Amino acid sequence: MRVNKKLLSSLFSLLSVQSIATALSITPLAADRAASRYVIENPLPPADQTHEVVRVAGTNVILISQMSNSVLLKATVDDHGVITDIGAFRIGESTSALHGLALSKTDPGKVWVTLQKDNKLVLLNPIVNSIKAAPEVIKEIVVPNPGLGPHYVGEYGDELWSTLQDSSHVLRINYNDPSNYTIYTGIPRPIFIAQHPDNGKFYTGEDNSASIMKIDPVANTTSQLPIPETAGMTPVGLIAGPPGRGIWFTLLGNATQGTGTIGNLHKDDTITYHTLSSSPLSKKAALLHLAFDPEAETNYTLWLLASSIVNSNALDMIIKVTFDAGWSKIVSEDIVVTPTQLNKAHRILITPTNVFATELASSKLVSYYTL
């Protein structure tokens, strides 16, 4: 029999490979991985513009303002932020322009709303125990002349502070005595207001002027803090940080370019800018709004909302940003893109259990969670 040497030798080499393979060590490893991420888009009754969102404290009731038809939505949500029941209520006329929403602190469970075109601030009892029950009006305050077009409203002790977007003013008004008020003149256009946690002054971002107005209600003076072109433009979201950490705001950018930049305004009015950098998606993100994690004082987490609202090239995204313990440097960014794009993502709301965002142009409420 003729032996095929070549075949034999390859057979031997195969066997030897096999015998080496049996010596190969296989070690079980910890299979640690990040949590799975879930993004739910809850459809809402259709409207051209869905704006603000708040949660009535201590309940599973979410309130949403639809400005284009002046409708207040009242929804119950489950643990994952899925809407389980919803009611819709016209506030005023279809042209009243329901816009700002803010929880009352002195009257828990009640909510202040702005009617931008009716020029009114209104306190509502949303009636949380029945989704189908119409909210009740508790108080109506007419914005005094020459103020026009309340956008944001917030309650600070006995006072309401409101940005009068259409006349570029800021209003301070005592809601128990509406004859006690001050109208401060800003530049186009005051959008949000926050009271500085460390110096007590009030600040408002003026989106079309790349400037922040500081208001000292005791001295009754105002001043402007310009935003340098190198940092960006269009301050929109502006909120108070944890105690000792100043005010924080986002810079949206313009119709063709986002900024990926947020500002931290300290108690001496100096500003530190932080620019996102972890990904091409975040570098020039068009940042519209922001909200601190309820545990921000211990986990240094800030949530940002990127939006296509003025820039049709921009992505609509939720970005979780974690800082170092001194809030001086971003240490991580976690980006999630909403399934519907060009939705003009509008507000972000963080509750102890959920992350919500409104989609202005697509009548949806996003719920984002990880498991």
Ligand X SMILES: *[C@@H]1O[C@H](CO)[C@@H](O)[C@H](O)[C@H]1NC(C)=O
In the complex, the residues that contact ligand X under the rule CB under 6 A are: 158-159, 174, 180, 182, 184, 220, 254-257, 293, 295, 298-299, 301, 320
Q: How far is the CB of 348 from ligand X (least distance, A)?
A: 12
Shortest distance (Å) from residue 262 CB to ligand X: 16
Q: Measured from the CB atom, is 220 or 272 closer to ligand X?
A: 220
Shortest distance in whole angstroms from residue 232 CB to ligand X: 8
Strand order in the sheet with 50-55: 50-55, 61-66, 71-77, 83-90
∠ CA 174-122-177, rounded to 5°: 20
Cβ-Cβ contacts under 8 Å for 133 (sequence gap 6 or more) = 87, 127
Three-class SS state of 140: strand
Closest distance of CB 352 from ligand X, Å: 8
Considering the complex, what minimum distance in angstroms separates the CB of residue 54 from ligand X?
19
Number of other residues whose CB lies within 10 A of the CB of residue 273: 15
Which CB atom, from 247 or from 291, has the smaller least distance to ligand X?
291
Residue 357 CB: number of other CB atoms within 10 A? Answer: 29
Least distance in angstroms from the C-beta of 280 to ligand X: 17
99 or 284: whose CB is closer to ligand X? 284
DSSP letter (8 states) at residue 33: -
CB 107, min distance to ligand X, A = 16
> Three-state DSSP class for 236?
strand
Closest distance of CB 265 from ligand X, Å = 21
Task: Please report, as a single letter, which amino acid is at residue 189.
Answer: R
What CA–CA distance (Å, rounded) separates 371 from 174?
45
Q: Which is nearer to ligand X, 231 or 281 (CB)?
A: 231
User: Which of 112/184 has CB closer to ligand X?
Assistant: 184
Euclidean distance between the first and the last CA atom of the chain, given in angstroms as a whole number: 67
- Residues 313 and 309: their CA atoms lie apart, in Å, by 10
For residue 124, what are the CA distances in angstroms to 102, 104, 160, 346? 10, 9, 14, 23
Q: Specify the residue, 57 or 255, whose C-beta has the smaller distance to ligand X.
A: 255
Identify the three-state secondary structure at position 325. Answer: coil
Q: How many CB atoms lie within 10 A of CB 355?
A: 22
Those residues with Cβ within 8 angstroms of residue 235's Cβ, 6 or more apart along the chain or in another chain: 191, 205, 206, 207, 210, 211, 212, 227, 249, 250, 251, 252, 263
Write out the H or E segment, with its range, that includes residue 225: strand 221-226
Q: Which is nearer to ligand X, 223 or 254 (CB)?
A: 254
Whose Cβ is closer to ligand X: residue 203's or residue 362's?
Answer: 203
- CA 360, 171, 108, 238 dihedral sign is positive
> Please, which residue, 224 or 256, has the CB nearer to ligand X?
256
- Minimum distance of ligand X from residue 214's CB (angstroms): 13
* Residue 74 Cβ vs ligand X, minimum distance, rounded to whole Å: 27
Which H or E run includes 77?
strand 71-77
Closest CB to ligand X among 67 and 291? 291
